[in-house]
Amino acid sequence: MKLELHYQTPIEWAEQAYEGIDDFLQDHADSERKVSNLCLSIITKYPNRHEIIDELTQIAVEELLHFKQVFDIMQKRNLTLRSNFKQDQYIKQLSEIVREDSDGRFMDRLILASIAEMRGSERFGLLGQVATDPQIAKFYKNLHIQEMEHIDSFIKMAKIYFPEKSVNDRVKQILEKEAEVTASLPWRPALH
């Protein structure tokens, strides 16, 4: 099954985001830490699902490294980290689709993680195209490729525990919801 976003971000989004690149970097630093935290929280909540601990740990480390790379760029620009995570409407609205029962919740969180990686990869790629600062352009072009690899990882994890068809059906539903949410949110210098 080929995974594709149902809403394509226009390049104008990236042009606008790049105008607020300092704010964007601060939001991006938060996002990387949040994904790393998410991987660790899945391990904490489902400690018996041994098959995915290696991969979750690896992604948690990679996201933390991305955080460090964003932070390095921020430091060169004399930017500080925000003391509080700002609420992300994208994540908040998408979380409404997550089912309450333990298995449903587990599957949905993995699928949501995969789709959020897809959106991140798409937007980093666009930013890489419009950034005029060569260091930032290179950074986002690389991230576009690296985050793409995480998309399949989360779906593969879900398929270890659930039938392929039920995962694919759920992916379709969540992709629709994601497109609706993304299209409805106002643009700001942030990942979502």
The site for Fe ion (CB under 5 A) is made up of 32, 63, 66, 117, 147, 150
- Shortest CA distance to 150 belongs to which of 56, 67, 71, 64? 56
Considering only CA atoms, which of 144, 125, 152 is closest in space to residue 59? 152
> At its nearest, how many Å lie between Fe ion and the CB of residue 147?
4
Nearer to Fe ion by C-beta: 9 or 99? Answer: 9
Nearest approach in angstroms of CB 118 to Fe ion is: 10
Residue 152 or 169 with smaller CB distance to Fe ion: 152
- Residue 46 or 139: which CB sits closer to Fe ion? 139
Task: Give the nearest distance from C-beta 4 to Fe ion in angstroms.
Answer: 18
Q: CB of residue 61 vs Fe ion: minimum separation in angstroms?
A: 11
Chain-centroid distance, C-alpha 36 = 10
- Side chain identity at 81, as an amino acid letter? L
First and final C-alpha spacing in the chain: 26
Residue with smaller CB distance to Fe ion, 27 or 32: 32
Rounded Cα distance, 108 and 71, in Å: 30
Q: Angle between the 164-184 and 134-161 helix axes, to the nearest 10 degrees? A: 140
